[in-house]
């Protein structure tokens, strides 16, 4: 978990660096399962067929118990990873940014919301800069023609 201390706090202008360090730290500490795979899908419990014998149904239930146990273990590992990924993300953000991101159940969903904050705002910021530059160039061109 020492890798986490090397994640720079997300403060606005450093989103890409923060994202890279965040993903790297979780991968190196082997806590990125929730970021790299979907939550396991719960297996359906066996349903007794109409003409199925007791012995056949019992055998299918026994086989299903192994499948269910595997699912429970995978789900537990995924839930722990998801919780850690969310905690690390939130702990490496400034309070202002953390407060602007709505809570989510999964780390991937939360990270998508964080990304949309910065991708959208960087596009808006770029658009504002282009407009300012364009307006400034028009003013300079007009003032050069009047003198």
Q: Is the pTM of this model over 0.85?
A: no
Count the domains in the chain.
Answer: 1
Q: Cβ(92)–Cβ(9) under 8 Å?
A: yes
The whole-number pLDDT of residue 5 equals 86
Which residues in the chain come in under a pLDDT of 50? 147
pLDDT at residue 139, as a whole number: 54
Torsion of CA 54, 57, 62, 66, to 10 degrees: -170
C-alpha span between 8 and 30 (Å, rounded):
19
pLDDT attached to residue 23: 95
Output the pLDDT for position 79. 97
Q: Domain span at residue 45? A: 2-146
- Asked if residue 3 lies in contact with residue 28, where contact means CB atoms within 8 angstroms, the answer is yes
User: What does the pLDDT read at residue 102?
Assistant: 92
CA separation for the pair 104, 111 (Å, rounded)? 9
Specify the pLDDT at position 2: 77
Q: Which residues pair with 93 in a beta bridge?
A: 10
For 22-57, the pLDDT digits (tens) are 999 999 999 999 999 999 999 999 998 999 899 999
């Amino acid at each position: 978990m020492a890798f986490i201390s090397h994640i720079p706090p997300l403060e606005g202008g450093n989103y890409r660096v923060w994202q890279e360090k965040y993903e790297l730290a979780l991968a190196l500490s082997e806590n990125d399962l929730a970021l790299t795979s979907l939550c396991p899908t719960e297996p359906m419990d066996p349903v007794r067929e109409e003409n199925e014998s007791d012995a056949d149904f019992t055998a299918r239930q026994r086989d299903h118990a192994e499948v269910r146990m595997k699912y429970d273990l995978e789900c537990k590992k995924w839930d722990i990873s998801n919780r850690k990924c969310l905690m690390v993300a939130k702990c490496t953000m400034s309070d202002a940014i953390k407060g602007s991101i709505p809570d989510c159940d999964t780390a991937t969903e939360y990270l998508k919301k964080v990304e949309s904050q910065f991708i959208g705002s960087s596009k808006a910021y770029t658009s504002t800069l282009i407009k300012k530059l364009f307006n400034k160039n028009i003013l300079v061109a007009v003032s050069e023609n009047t003198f």
